């Protein structure tokens, strides 16, 4: 049966990140994407111009609507909208037993802040329920580092895209230690809007399809790199990736290990 992936995240009007990137990713990887939208944003490749949080009760109503009828095989959580919504989602997650990928969205690629301090504090409950947490380097630092995240009992996908140098290293860790490490040459592009959303959704889709976590992690990293190489070059800032144009064969990703 087609894997049913519930995405709890914000909407990106520019189509590069958020719910829009999540749906593209899950669809391209063969899953069925369902959504609970936590916030509506007015944004483009240059930044976020406005954010309108969706009321918590409506977020939970969306979740219950799809879960009670269609069912859920995995969950991806992105931009959560508010501390109240984070706690309400955590309450609901306590009653469900499926893989959960939590992308602790705090700052957009453009630099716009997408989570206030109270919401970031509430992330602790979501990390404690997550199968995998997928912060970028600045987010990982804000959460207290690798040990602090792993202390919640989850896996950690430590992404290297914000690092320096010509090689990016992505690592998958469990509380017991390193499980996998992938390295690849840095792709010279500014079309990086939505990389975190895309990676987390690809990982959730793999887990929902029954893939072992290392295999799902590897496919997610590779999918992001293909989408970067296929970016259509839209907008004047950090442009969207080419999820729908992902036709670059894996053997062109030279330097990946």
Residue from 16, 18, 196, 208 carrying the catalytic annotation = 196
Token pair 């916030």: residue: 39
Residue from 45, 119, 134, 195 carrying the catalytic annotation = 195
Confirm whether 196 is a catalytic residue: yes
∠ Cα 62 66 72 (to 5°): 120
Closest CA to 83 of 113, 53, 108: 53
Residue from 35, 85, 192, 218 carrying the catalytic annotation = 192
Residue from 35, 76, 197, 206 carrying the catalytic annotation = 197
Residue 66 neighbours by CB under 8 Å, 6+ apart: 6, 34, 36, 72
At residue 196, the 3 state secondary structure works out as: helix
The 8 Å CB, 24+ separation contacts for 163-172 are 163/137, 167/255, 170/217, 170/221, 172/132, 172/213, 172/214, 172/217
Confirm whether 194 is a catalytic residue: yes
CB count within 10 Å of CB 117 equals 9
At residue 162, the 3 state secondary structure works out as: coil
Residue from 15, 160, 184, 194 carrying the catalytic annotation = 194
Confirm whether 76 is a catalytic residue: no
Residue from 76, 159, 184, 239 carrying the catalytic annotation = 159
Distance, CA of 81 to CA of 85 (rounded, Å): 7
Confirm whether 195 is a catalytic residue: yes
Supply 184's token pair: 């690849």
Supply the residues annotated as catalytic. 159, 192, 194-197
């Amino acid at each position: 049966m087609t894997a049913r992936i519930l995405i709890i995240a914000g909407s990106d009007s520019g189509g590069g990140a958020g719910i829009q990137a999540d749906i593209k990713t899950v669809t391209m990887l063969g899953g069925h994407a369902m959504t609970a939208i936590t916030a509506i944003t007015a944004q483009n490749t240059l930044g976020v111009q406005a954010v309108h949080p969706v009321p918590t009760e409506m977020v939970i109503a969306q979740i219950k609507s799809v879960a009670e009828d269609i069912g859920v095989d995995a969950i991806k959580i992105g931009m959560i909208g508010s501390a109240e919504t984070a706690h309400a989602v955590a309450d609901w997650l306590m009653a469900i037993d499926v893989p959960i990928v939590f992308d602790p969205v705090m700052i957009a690629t453009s630099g716009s802040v997408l989570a206030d301090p109270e919401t970031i504090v509430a992330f602790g409950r979501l990390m404690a329920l997550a199968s995998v947490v997928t912060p970028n380097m600045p987010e990982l630092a804000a959460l207290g580092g690798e040990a602090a995240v792993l202390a919640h009992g989850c896996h950690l996908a430590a992404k290297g895209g914000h690092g320096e140098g010509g090689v990016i290293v992505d690592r998958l860790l469990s509380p017991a230690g390193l499980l996998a490490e992938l390295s690849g040459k840095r792709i010279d592009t500014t079309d990086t809007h939505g990389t975190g959303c895309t990676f987390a959704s690809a990982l959730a889709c793999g887990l929902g399809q029954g893939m072992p976590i290392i295999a799902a992690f590897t496919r997610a990293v590779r999918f992001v790199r293909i989408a970067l190489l296929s970016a259509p070059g839209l907008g004047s800032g950090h442009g969207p990736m080419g999820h729908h144009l992902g036709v670059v064969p894996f053997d062109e990703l030279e330097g990946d290990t």
